[in-house]
Amino acid sequence: MSAKNVIGASESDANKTGSDMSDGDLRAASDLPGVPDEFQRLWTPHRLAYIQNGQQPHDDDCPFCLAPAMSDEDALIVARGKFAYVLLNLYPYNSGHLLVCPYRHVAMYDEATAQEIAEIGSLTQTAMRVLKEVSNSHGFNIGMNQGQVAGAGIAGHLHQHVVPRWATDSNFFPIIAKTKAITALLGDVRISIANAWPTN
């Protein structure tokens, strides 16, 4: 019976070798309900907490409201505008992962003012130029998750992600080891981006 067609009886079986397992420990996939298809499944039950509870901070504890009152170094801020500011993501997908936030606590893009939208756009363009200069990024993922149902980590405060990408930045670590390799310390990245940010 091939490993592809076998399901272990328990999680503890994961460390057993074939010789350690008895026939009672294994079940053929064909004996279970369901119809096979061409899709692979990546089971992520740890994400259920985000769906059920949201893990959202109270508005009084919003990190994007608290950050502007802190020093740039402590808050990981790289640039401040009139209506919005830019800071490093504390949990980056890639080194240099930036967030562009309005100062005002608004949740959705359609709640932002024209001035806020314009400055978020301008800061996003500058962020892209600076990241190309300091890290030679090949491309970017740019976007906003609107609301808890869309996966926003902090749903109560609008923020745009600017994630630099390189041709070789994908590997097996996130899937196999639940680990993301970040190549530089946040403080060092903040300094390099802040120093390269144009002053008006």
Catalytic residues: 159
For strands 6-8 and 26-28, give the pairing.
antiparallel
Residues facing residue 165 across a β-bridge: 139
Nearest to 162 by CA among 116, 196, 193: 193
Instruction: Give the residue ranges of DSSP H helices in the chain.
Output: 48-52, 63-66, 72-75, 114-135, 186-196
DSSP assignment of 135-190: H--SEEEEE---SGGGT-TTTTS--EEEEEE-TT---SIIIIIS-----S-HHHHH
The span from the first CA to the last CA of the chain, in angstroms, equals 68
